[in-house]
Every structure is written in C-alpha cells, then in structure tokens.
A and B are shown apart, each in its own frame.
Chain A
C-alpha cells in the first residue's frame, strides 16, 4: 500500500530524516516508534506531501505519488497538534474538512454524523470546540481525519495529553478501524501503545530507522534474555545443576525460554516463596539499540 524509499530531509546541518525506508501493507497497523525529535513527524509530513524530501520517494497504492490529489484522498491525517477551529463547533469542523475532500449533500451529512458518533461527540456536536475538554478535542482531531472515509490513516501521537478515559476511547476506535481493514500508520513514543496496536514497528532515532519488524521479532533480535528471579523456600541440597546464579535463597536466571527453566526447577522439587519474570519489551529493545531510554 505504501512504499517509503530512502527518504532524506535536512534542516541546515540537522539531518531530520536520514535514509528511511519501509513498506506498509494494506490493512496493516504500522508503528513508528521513537523519542521526541526522532524524525517521525517529519517522515509523516513527507509521506503526506506537505514537505518535500531532499531525496527518496514515497509511493502510495501502487504508483501514485503522495503529493497527488488522488493519493491524498486515500489518506486521513490526525496531526500531533490539535488542528481544529476553536471558534467552530465539532459539527462545523467536520463539515468543513469533509467539504475540502469534495463531500457534499447527504453524503457529507452522513459522514459527519458517522464521525461524531465514532468520536463519541454526537451530543456535543453543536458546541464550540473551545468549550471541549482536552480528550474531546483529541477525539475530534481523530474524527476530522476520518470524515472522508480514508483507506490510509496516519495518526501522529494521537494520545498526547489526554485523560485515561479518552485514551481508552481512542485505542478502541483505532482497533475498530483496524478491524475494518484500514491501513494505519501510528507514531508514538509510548511503547505500550505500539505493543497494543501495531502489527509491525519501526524504531527511529536521530532521523534513522534503527530496526523494523514485528514486536516479537524485535524483542527476539534486540531485547536480550528474560530475567527470572525466584525466592526459594529453602536452600537446595544440590546446587551444582541449577540454572542461573544462587545467592542465599535468591535465584536469578537469564534465559531466552524462562518458562522452560521454571518447569525444570519445579520438576527438581524446588518450591518458591515468590517468582518474578522480567521479559524484554520495546523499551528494552530501544535501550539496547540506542543505549538510552525512550523517554530520555
């Protein structure tokens, strides 16, 4: 559906996007994960044709350039900043953006109503946006991206600054879109969001794509071992055959297959006061790739 090939973009000496390439299949939820300033938003801006890349290309739906009107009709963008007209009501915002995409008449009305319902804002439709809460604005921001019924949805940090209730509403909405077979590109610096919503994830930092794959692949490749920490009820008589390192009653095992190791321990008759498994996640992957935390 989308092919990004060797994108490069600089602002003076700063290389915002440095040789980024990836492909997104139809119906896939693709995550762009990276800290603030990693180059995610710049990549999105190039993908939708707002910025020109210094080099490289973006091809959408076979052979269309992203700057073409026909490919733009396929895309809905929810920008990171709340891009809404505060003096307009939710209904007026949706109507305006729908009209920009050529909708009119009953079709426009239907899509506006659908979008309001999707965002859970039907009752607040006629209130001015400036009276909305942060979460309501965020939901409307997403609805404005969907009003023209796009096949590709670009969501740039869609949960920034929202309350847990709106956050869950947004997650549910995105999962609903995913289930409808829409192609979703989701940028975030929250790994748990990427883990919940994305089929594949690309990790970016300093404009470069550091790793790309399914979450399992990335963890397997870059996450390292799981760590099992077991507090034994008593020190075993024979310790030489035990995996890991025993200090007093505390046993620490680093393993790629922690469940197998726990099964082995149980079969030897050991009993545990407590058992804790630390599995690697995308945070660990990012730490492993960059040497620093995602939220640094």
Chain B
C-alpha cells in the first residue's frame, strides 16, 4: 500500500512543477468563473443597462411625465434633445439600444383608455438586441400605466374626457342598447369615483394630492423557487458566483484530468512506466497510485475554487453535500482521465484529442453555455456529458438546495461514468502494453 502513496506523491510533485498544467487547473478556471459570474450577473433584471433616445415631439405635461416614467426605470439612461436621424444613426452604430418617438398630441389622449385616434408611440431597437426590445416595450407600457393613474389623480382635468365619452356613447346609433347601458353604467361609476377623489383632495388641502395612496396596475415580485418558505437565499446567499463557480470548478477538474492523462502517456513514452512495472509492486497498485494522485488533485482544485468563490461571495447551502459531490466528481474524472490517457500513443495526440473531447463535454454539459439557453435536443445530449452531472451535483449542494436523496442521482451517475471509463481505460492500456 505504501507504493500507492509513493506514486501518488510523486505524481502530485510533478504536476506541481508543471506551469502549464497548473494554469489550466487553477488560473484558467478562475478566469472562467469570474467571466461567467460577471456575465450571468449582468443578466439579472436589476442589472440590465440600456441607453435610449427619446424624441418628444409633443412636449406636453403628459409627455414629460411619460419620459420621467421611463427615466425612473432601473438601469435606463435616456438621452433627449436629439433628432430622429441622429438617434437612428446612434442605434445603427450600436451606441444606443433604441429610440422612442413620442408623437404630437400624445398628451391629449395619454392615459385615457377609450381615446379615439390615439397618437401612436414608435419604438426602434438595434436588430441584434431583440431581448431588450421586449424589455423596452414593457417599460413603455409601465410608463403609460402611470399616466392612466395620473389622470385618475387629477379629477378636474379628467371630467371633460368623461363628459365627452358619455356624449359619444349616447350619440352612437350603431351601438346595441345593452352595451350602451353597460358603458353608461361604467361612466357613472367613474363619475362617482372621480367625485370622491376630488372631495378627499378638497377636504385635506392641496398637500393631500401628493399623499394619495399610490395605485399600481399590477405588482410583480420575483418568486424564490429555491427556498419557498424563506427569503434567506434570495436576500443573503444567492448571487452570480453561485451560478458561475460550479462551471469554473468543472473547468479546473477538466484541467486536472487532462494534465494527469498526459502525464500517464508521458510515463509510457519516456519509459518510466516500464520502471514502475519492473518494480516489485502489483500493476493495480501503479494504477491506484495514479488514480489517487488525480483524485487528490481534483478534490484540491474544487476546494481551492470553493475558497475563491467564497471570497467573492459564493455561499454554498450544504457543505456536506458539496464534499460528497466533490468526491463523486473526483471518482468520475479519475476514470475519464484513465480512458483519455489511452486514446492516443503520444502526449500530443492525447493532449489534443483529450482537450477536444473535454471541450465537447463542456459545450454540451453546460460548461460554456448554461443548459437553460440550449435547445431541447442539446439538453438531451447533455445527459451524456459528465460535465453536466458534475455541475448539476455542485449546484445541488451550492444553491439548488438538494436533499441527500436528491443529490444521490447525479452522484450515482458520476460514479457510474467513472467506473465504466476506468475499466475501459484499464482494458485498453493492457491491450496497448
């Protein structure tokens, strides 16, 4: 058994002196983690930043309130005093996300549901940023909703519009009687409502206008699917690093597996494996020594990445499950390493083909692009990638709040992949010898 330890220590020493190997085990994954963390952090709704131009052709009180409503949206920078041509050019060059044109007479009908011949708002967006178009539409709708509330909160200016509407309903000969009655009933109700607001405002003075209860068309709150019974995760733990560091850890693990696969080939090509084979130790002890060193390195890489993630703000929910996931990932990638080491006969072929395969694993397994953004067939393919199960198990421990039973699924798959790959690698190695 001592020989297993001796071989493992030897391998770890050699790896620690391999600058390029260390880069791919530590520096590269950290870079990936930080990169993905920054990117995924910038996707959060409260982090989206947009610069748009607003061309206000109406220049009325209501249009100014509308512009103010848009400016109130988080991450929104509004540029005014531009012509349509200037704004269009800026959008075309990618310097701004889009532009909004407020037409003349906008203020006359803004915030009135039944207004006829309404002046339409125009929105133009950079064609490559379709996602932001939807967001901009939502912001425009929100600002329009505020104008509607604004109308209700100013009864005197709203009354003439009600009177006009009532007149039009009465004069409309094509409107069925039942509908006429229903609409007139609604107008009566609105009359009463507007009167009530006016009375409240008059009784409490001009200051009451500003103290009116804020009305909202709809309130939207984000549901925390991770901890339905508590908001602790949302408010304290969960952040972009929780999402990006499992990916980064897997990049570190891939770096480890690649480095050890190449070192195993180097043992073969440089003849040191022959020396190990003639030593008075069992062949399986040699493999066990190799496996142990790779296992230790993988667990160490995950531990270091966890520590770095923690410094940045990652807060794993279950440390015990994180340890379990790390062990299972290490078992899996020891097997994968063994198989990788026999796919070629030279360091160059194993290094090249090994990284190629790892990149495919990573691509389909969510190491580059989160699985959520993948089409369904790619999600199905991802089930064949150990990277997917590695990330999934780490996420389960870090932020998916897996129970012990829930994490056994991905962990079992990881161990299964590891064992199968190890046996295949061992079989192939025997044949190569």
Contact = CB atoms under 8 A, between A and B. Distances in A.
A156 to B, nearest CB: 10
Nearest to B3: A100
A153 to B, nearest CB: 12
A162 interface: no
Interface in A79-94: 79-88, 92
Given A70-B280, A100-B6, A101-B280, A87 B17 contact: yes
What does DSSP make chain A's interface, helix, strand, loop or mixed?
A: loop
Contacts of A92: 13
Interface size class on chain B is 20 to 34
Nearest to A76: B278
Contacts, number: 68
Count chain A CB atoms within 10 A of each CB in B3, B270, B274 and give the residue with the most: B274
A50 B279 CA distance: 10
Contacts of A70: 280
A80 B274 CA distance: 11
B275 A77 contact: yes
Interface in B265-288: 270-272, 274-282
A77 B278 contact: yes
A102 interface: yes
Contacts of B3: 99-100
A51 B433 CA distance: 8
B14 A87 contact: yes
Interface in B17-64: 17-18
A73 B275 contact: no
A79 B270 CA distance: 10
A49 interface: yes
B324 to A, nearest CB: 33
A64 B389 CA distance: 49
Contacts of A96: 6, 10
A49 B277 CA distance: 8
A100 B279 contact: yes
Given A88-B14, A100-B3, A83 B272 contact: yes
A79 B267 CA distance: 13
A50 B275 CA distance: 9
A97 interface: yes
A87 B3 CA distance: 20
B7 to A, nearest CB: 8
A144 interface: yes
Contacts of B279: 72, 97, 100-101
A270 interface: no
14 contacts: A45-B274, A69-B280, A69-B281, A70-B280, A77-B278, A79-B274, A82-B270, A83-B272, A87-B13, A88-B13, A96-B6, A96-B10, A100-B3, A100-B7
Interface of B: 2-3, 6-7, 10, 13-14, 17-18, 270-272, 274-282, 433
Q: Which 5 A-B pairs have the closest CB atoms?
A: A83-B271, A69-B280, A81-B271, A72-B280, A100-B279
Interface of A: 45, 48-51, 69-70, 72-73, 75, 77, 79-88, 92, 96-97, 99-102, 144
